[in-house]
Structure 1
Amino acid sequence: PSLIIVCIQVNSEDNNEDVSEAELKADPCSLCRKGTHRFVLNEEIGLKCNICSFVSQEIKYILPPWVMDRSERSSKKRYAHEEDCSTLDGFMFQDIGCSSQGSHIHFKGTVWERFPYIKKSLYVHQQEGFEFLWNNIAGGIELDKSKRLASPHGVGGCVISHAPGTGKTLLTLVFLKTYMEVFKEIRPVIMAPSSMLLTWEEEFRKWKFDIPFHNFNSPEYSGKEHPIALQLAGNCRSTKFKRMVKLLSWSKGNSILGISYTLFEKLAGQNDDKKAKRSKDEDDVRKILLEIPSLLVLDEGHTPRNERSRIWKALENTKTEKRIILSGTPFQNNFDELYNTMCLVRPKFADKISMKTQKIGRNGQEVTDAREKWTSLTSTIGKLADDRLLEEVKSMIAPFVHVHRGDILKKNLPGLRECVVVLHPPLLQEYLLKKMERVPDTFKLEHHLTLVSIHPSLLVACNYYEDKSSEFEKALMDKITSKSFRLNPDEGVKTRFLMALIQLSVASNEKVLVFSQYHDPFTLIKDQLGSILNWIEGKEFLQMDGKQNVKLRQQTMSIFNDPNSEVKVLLASTRACREGISLIGASRVVLLDVVWNPSVERQAISRAYRLGQKKVVYTYHLITTGKMEGDKYLKQIGKDRISELVFSPTDEHGFRMTGSSSNSDDQILDAMVMSDELKGIFSKIVYQPKESNLVDNFGSVSPIC
């Protein structure tokens, strides 16, 4: 029997009464070989005789009784306020269920034979990922019905860990299109940071996929809402009611719901305030989001990696175990977070670890708790030469983690040249950096050092005053707060490097992408660009950050990537530019500060170094001399090395995301180093740092005398 979907339930007996006996006899087309039609509701067709297949009424003309009741009430009394529109009357969960596969359309052969045209549109690593998704989510690429319905062992969630910029979105879209054609009525959900939902919309349009995509975060309709849902909405235009329309449309099947992590956490997460009870509508929405999705796609799936966070707990409560994590950087900071990510995509992952019987405790004792076993397995990885435990961990995750490190980029792009540039700060900046090292609060220390290492005037943004009564301190503050000092990039070694690089890049017709995790440096740099080059924001330079409207961010991206635009520089927040953001207009990437998480740096570089890039991409990670930033960068490299060990590829297509040369072929950097005005700021340059032994080659970043 067909599935009666949410809110689209029709009493077939009542509708049968509309077809009178006289009409049946009068209309020869309505004659049934058994004398009387037996009408049943087919969700895709309408009221259909299950004997002779005569269709009495098409599905698009059928309204559920509760909608008819609402229409009758509204004809007597118009809504005074939109908020009076009860959003979820009539949801009947008992009729929905949560079928993991949906109704199956019987096909023979493999998925490649059923969809022969898709192979040409995919690179080799995407073809492998496509089969991997079918094996994990559907049980295999054979489209035999009995195999599909048998729920074979091993079917469940999986991770697509392909290097940033290698086409994970297209791969996922192709999989969803084919999967939804084989399994009707499934209800996929794509979850992503809110800014990336628009990117998904763009990808649907770009590749001309006709699957309706309902952006739950957007205040606008997609234009592909179900007609019954729109009829139900009437003139109501509140966000709450529009979301109901999108839920109804998605629940019909054969469409996709897009929602941000933040909104999902808000609507489906546990209510921390026990006194503030949810309304019935809110409870219904929560139930829908947790129980109805039959497939979850978690873009930037490493985002919910803390088991104590509300978003992780909310996702843990989702009913479906068919989950796809998309992440070029699943290893973020430590193995505890990786364990949480693995348990999220494969809820039975912990059970698999718990079933291990070998004694893996430090003293040889048997450990029973899954998390303790995981800690025992991973605690020495990257520290000892023995790789037995590393291989054991890799074998545990290999069945549901597909890795591609990015060799497709090396084969198809002009190249990537990375370098760490260690810079001598001027005397005043060096003095302030040493003062910052005495800040007792760790978080403040990080913040203060980062800002002051860019330009001393940013000390003002730190609200730091050591001794207000000291005449020297007063004179110092007067100096760094003066307009002339602030607008002089030469007073800060990183701003000096940046300004020289920008001017040389513009002369070579290249665009520069500048990353920082803070907003204050961008305010300063914009003022300096205006003062020195007479540039105007919106014309020669742009800024992209998390405060921007998502549509404006998308517009900024398009303008920057347009080779005919006048824009030369984009100042971008590392937090706002995540996977899915393409900034291939840039061929020079500057990272102003050092972060603990190596994936943040990799993600930033991959905004420019990705499929579609036409030029060699040069990256500059700026570090000031002294212990603080250098030590921090070395620890970042250590984390990245562990990630490489665990997620090293198992096939011949593996490649770590680095360039092809350890020597400089960077004419702009060479010109800066040879310049009489600039050569004094350079302490050391390490090319291809992730291919180097930094302890020996990079070592201490103290000044070279």
Structure 2
Amino acid sequence: CKNPWGRSDARELGKSDNSSFFEFQKEFGCDSHFDCGFYDHADGTVWDLIPGTRSSMFPHQREGFEFIWNKIAGSIDLETLKKGTGSDGGSGCIISHAPGTGKTRLTIIFLQTYMKLYPNCKPMIIAPPSMLLTWEEEFQKWNVDIPIHNLSKAELSGMENDLAVSLLFKKKKHVNRERDVDVNGIRWAKLYSWCKKGGILGISYPLFEQLAGKRNKPDGKKGWKKCKDAEDERARKRKTAECEEFSKVLLEYPGLVVFDEGHTPRNEDSLIWKAVSEIQTKKRILLSGTPFQNNFNELFNTLCLVQPDFEKKLEDACKEDSDRKYAGKRKNRAKLLWSRFTSSIGKGEDEMEDANLKTLRVIIDRLAHVHNGNILQEHLPGLRSVLVKLKPAPLQERVIEDIQRSTNYFRRQYEETLASIHPSLLLTRVGELSVSEDDLKRDKMNPHAGVKTKFLIELIQLSEALNEKVLVFSQFLDPLNFIKDLLRSYLNWHEDREVMCLDGNCDIKQRHSSLKVFNDPSSEAKVLLASTKACGEGINLVGASRVVLLDVEWNPSVERQAICRAFRVGQKKFVYTYHLITSGSNEEEKNRRQAEKDRQSKLIFCTSDKANEQQKVQATACEDKILEEMVRHEKLRSMFVELAQQKSNLMEDKESSPSTS
């Protein structure tokens, strides 16, 4: 096959002792992604490619498997696939299964069969950085012998092509000395191996943006600095060529792309969304338990990502109206049509009969396979979710009232979130508060000075007595660090022993080590403090049976994903979750906004009427003895304002049944 990069550039630019790029450029050559090959020695359906696997899958996974095949290839019948006569093939799809219901395994099974039938398809998985190792572990767990070339790893895996390794270490005495080779050289070795040897290419969203986006190109946003001399000019040309070729390979070579946590690139102004939108193949699988995040505009971007011609289809469907109403606005016509189309959804008296909603559901049904998480209710011990509204301590209440007078909206939101947990988190702002610095310092290590820390410390101690582990989530690092210090001061618990931490500052290996220790029933770990941003879909924390959401996010899907770190396939205990809200704070308004977004998500992403029937909340199946003890306790009961039990089905709208203490 002709080298897509050409040899003349390498001769012109010369070689660099610090990079193996041009060595690979000379040798690189592989089939176009349009030629995926076809393994024609098979009969029956795609299920016959993996005998025995079907019986080990849940019903929703089996349905999802066939749905993906019909969307990506057009059929599940091998003879039809061989003849290429399948219908609706070559498009993308969304797998919208509730968090924790086995989307990763479903995708692995599909990739296993698809690569058997199309061995040259060159699949690529784009995922959050922390999830790439999880993908590797899942392939090993299910004994799927397909090499994964993780481009985000700065070392070789041992699965690289021999020629790639020899080129990489051409001038080195020892083949295992990765430190002596630049990172880009290792990346080229993996790309070369992916094309020549096969397997799956794995890459994180940030790295894909860096290598395939326009940010680091000469004509991009940042551009290059002016060259001082000829040597700088040659270096610039080498860098330019390398950036262009990275981009070319990542955008043009994959024949199939999997977007894990596919709701990540949902803002059309973000660099990552612009980068992934340039991928050429239309065969795209978007995995997300929460595809509707904040609003209909983000949903529009998600649909455009999974089906690149979605804008055109929308325009064609509304062509007459579009031409009349949006003449002269062709660039944003589809977006304007979408905004007009969705503006009425959920706002009428009989919202279920809204014509536009019905049309949108038809669109979603064609693009997405939805599972609302019933499998978790059927196969796990259960989930009990409670909204806990708490009365702030006197000093805490004064601090919150001071912050609410601020005219800076974003600063007010952040500081009120901190003060709702514990007032001493505002020590750095004491000059702007009516309380004294001495008051805040005096109560710094007093958990009872903050109503949420008071609740949390009591819950943790009672959970320890029942041999249950607690998972604590916050969207900010300051509260997590504060609680870590509080546990050390109040209970003499230490990090990496009783207390584990998981946030964006942890490297991938440290993260996996912490997860392993926390999930080990025999370990000393009792509490895991986790950032919601660093703990997305796919992270397994089934070691916890108590989940505390310390603050309130505007986006309800973030909290839903957090809960499903513990409430997922593999959980052996009943899971209790606590959504903490400080009375009188802006968290009450956030919670109302969450409910509205949840309601919109339920309207759009639903399964059959049967699947959406009201389910009985499982409170009677397993009452919360710890919460009951806290509510009855003479010294604790006064902090409770309201307890509202929430529906346990994570893909449905949350409906609470209030009860006060």
Q: Would the TM-score normalized by the shorter structure come out above 0.5?
A: yes
In structure 1, what is the Cα distance between the partners aligned to 2:272 and 2:570? 34
Aligned to 2:45: 110
> How has the CA–CA distance of structure 1 residues 685 and 519 changed in structure 2, closer, same or farther, with 3 Å as cutoff?
same
When residues 179 and 659 of structure 1 are mapped into structure 2, their CA distance, relative to the original with a 3 A threshold, is farther
- Corresponding residue number in structure 2 for 1:124: 59
* Farther-moved stretch of structure 1 (179-188 vs 271-280): 271-280
In structure 1, C-alpha distance between the alignment counterparts of 2:656 and 2:485, rounded to whole Å: 40
Given the alignment, which residue of 590, 599, 602 partners 2:560? Answer: 602
Alignment root-mean-square deviation, CA: 3.0
- Could you tell me how far 1:429 is from its partner in structure 2? 0.6
The total of aligned residue pairs comes to 624
> Could you tell me how far 1:274 is from its partner in structure 2?
3.6
Q: What CA distance in whole angstroms lies between the structure 1 residues aligned with 2:263 and 2:122?
A: 23
State the alpha-carbon separation in 1 of the partners of residues 409 and 624 from structure 2.
37
**Counterpart residue number, 2:517:** 559
Closer, same or farther: CA 546–658 of 1 in aligned 2, 3 Å: farther
TM superposition shift of 1:662: 7.5
Deviation at 1:108, TM superposition (A): 2.4
**Which residues of structure 2 form unaligned runs of 5+?**
173-179, 215-219, 226-235
Equivalent position amino acid for 1:533 in 2 = L
Structure-2 change in CA distance of 1:383 and 1:696 (3 Å)? farther
Residue 425 of structure 1, aligned match among 379, 392, 396: 392
Rounded Cα–Cα distance in structure 1 between residues aligned with 2:389 and 2:625: 18
SS in 1 for 2:337: helix
- Counterpart of 1:303 in structure 2 is 264
Q: Structure 1 residues 307, 87: closer, same or farther in 2, change over 3 A?
A: farther
- Residues 441-590 of structure 1 mapped to structure 2, 5 A cutoff: 441-461=408-428, 463=429, 465-466=431-432, 473=434, 476-482=436-442, 485-590=443-548
The alpha-carbon deviation at position 102 of structure 1 amounts to 3.5
Where 1:351 maps in the other structure, the secondary structure is helix
Amino acid at match of 2:276: L
Q: Contact 1:360 / 1:377 at 8 angstroms: preserved in 2?
A: no
Partner of residue 309, structure 2: 348
From 307, 327, 342, the counterpart of 1:378: 342
* Greater Rg by CA: 1
Pick from 261, 275, 300: which aligns with 1:314? 275
Distance 1:312 1:457 in 2: 39
In 2, Cα distance between equivalents of 1:437 and 1:99? 58
Comparing 653-662 with 553-562, which one deviates more in the overlay?
653-662
Instruction: Decide whether the 8 Å contact of 1:125 with 1:653 is kept in 2.
Output: no
Match of 2:584 in 1: 626
Q: Quote how far apart the aligned CAs of 1:650 are.
A: 3.1
Most deviating of 557-566 and 233-242: 233-242
3-state SS in 2 of match to 1:683: strand
Q: Distance in 2 between matches of 1:287 and 1:657?
A: 50
Q: Could you tell me the percent identity over the aligned residues?
A: 46
SS in 2 for 1:221: coil
2:204 matches 1:260: yes
Amino acid at match of 2:270: S
TM-score, with normalisation over the residues of structure 2?
0.88
TM-fit CA distance, 1:391:
1.0
**Alignment correspondent of 1:251:** 195
Amino acid in the other structure paired with 2:152 = N
The answer to whether the Cα contact below 8 Å between 2:97 and 2:288 also exists between their aligned partners in 1 is yes
- Whole-angstrom CA distance in 2 between matches of 1:657 and 1:274: 56
- Letter of the 1:403 counterpart: V
Structure 1 residues 256 and 672, CA, compared in 2 at 3 Å: closer, same or farther? same
CA displacement, residues 169-196 of structure 1 (integer Å, 9 cap, x when unaligned): 0000000011000011111000001111
* Paired position in structure 1 for 2:607: 649
What is the one-letter code of the residue matched to 1:568?
Answer: K
2:540–2:565 Cα contact (<8 Å) kept: yes
Structure 2 residue 363 is the aligned partner of structure 1 residue 396: yes
Shift of 1:671: 0.2
Equivalent position amino acid for 2:481 in 1: T
Q: How far is 1:522 from its partner?
A: 1.5
Structure 2 matches for 1:685-700, cutoff 5 A?
685-688=643-646
**1:697 positional shift:** 5.6
In structure 1, give the amino acid aligned to 2:382. G
Instruction: Verify the 8 A CA contact 1:185 1:253 in the aligned structure 2.
Output: no
Aligned to 1:54: none
CA–CA distance in structure 1, aligned partners of residues 653 and 620 of structure 2: 12
Corresponding residue of 2:140:
205
Name the counterpart of 2:103: 168
Contact 2:430 2:436 in 1 (8 A): no
In the alignment, residue 443 of structure 1 is paired with which amino acid? F
Q: 1:55 matched to which residue of 2?
A: none
Matched to 1:89, the amino acid is: Q
Counterparts of 1:662-701 in structure 2, within 5 Å, are 665-688=623-646
Contact kept? 1:418, 1:658, Cα under 8 Å: no
1:238 aligned onto 2:238: no
> Contact between 1:663 and 1:687, CA under 8 Å: does it hold in 2?
no
Q: Give yes or no for contact 1:546–1:576 (8 Å, CA) kept in 2.
A: yes
| Aligned partners of 1:512 and 1:569 also within 8 Å | yes
